[in-house]
Amino acid sequence: MQARMQNPAVVIPEAMKPLLVLSKIVRKQGLPQATIELVQLRVSQINGSSVCVDGSARSAGAAGVTDKQRSAVAAWRHTTCFTDAERSALALAEAVTRLADRPDPVPAAVWDEAAKHFTEQELAAIVLAVGVTNMFDRINVATRRVAGSMPWET
């Protein structure tokens, strides 16, 4: 597969700066880094962004997510390697990403379970992390970016 165009971050570099700032702010809200990485990895898997799946898998490893967790995140409901808090974050990430899959996109049960494990600030960080990841995924999928094609991946 060949990219359709240059990475939009290269074409319009000033647009990327606030997104990177937002990503850094999200990481400073008290949420475990491993949870953020798991959420981002799962969102990118759902969206089929090879660049972001690859990057998130690498970042997750650096944040202490085990190889077993990284390989099982797509099937998190059927494994025992995630905590209840991580499971609730993954469920929330899936619901926020798959908005058109059900009449109530983010069911109260999903939100309420996450709220048992995370503060309002941490919930906000999860929602923002999902939103930013979805945006990056959509950019990379639309322009057909493939893993290994980004300058920082060498």
The three-state (H, E, C) secondary structure of 1-45, written as one string: CCCCCCCHHHHCHHHHHHHHHHHHHHCCCCCCHHHHHHHHHHHHH
Q: Rounded to an integer, what distance in angstroms lies between the CA atom of residue 57 and that of residue 122? A: 21
Per-residue pLDDT of the chain (154 residues; tens, 9 = 90+): 778 888 787 788 888 889 889 999 999 999 999 999 999 999 999 999 999 999 999 999 999 999 999 999 999 999 999 999 999 999 999 999 999 999 999 999 999 999 999 999 999 999 999 999 999 999 999 998 877 755 544 4
DSSP state letter for 113: H
Stated pTM of the model: 0.91
Question: For residues 39 and 69, is the Cβ–Cβ distance under 8 A?
Answer: no
Domain ranges in the chain are 31-147
Question: For residues 126 and 32, is the Cβ–Cβ distance under 8 A?
Answer: no
Domain 31-147 CATH superfamily: AhpD-like (1.20.1290.10)
Question: For residues 52 and 133, is the Cβ–Cβ distance under 8 A?
Answer: yes
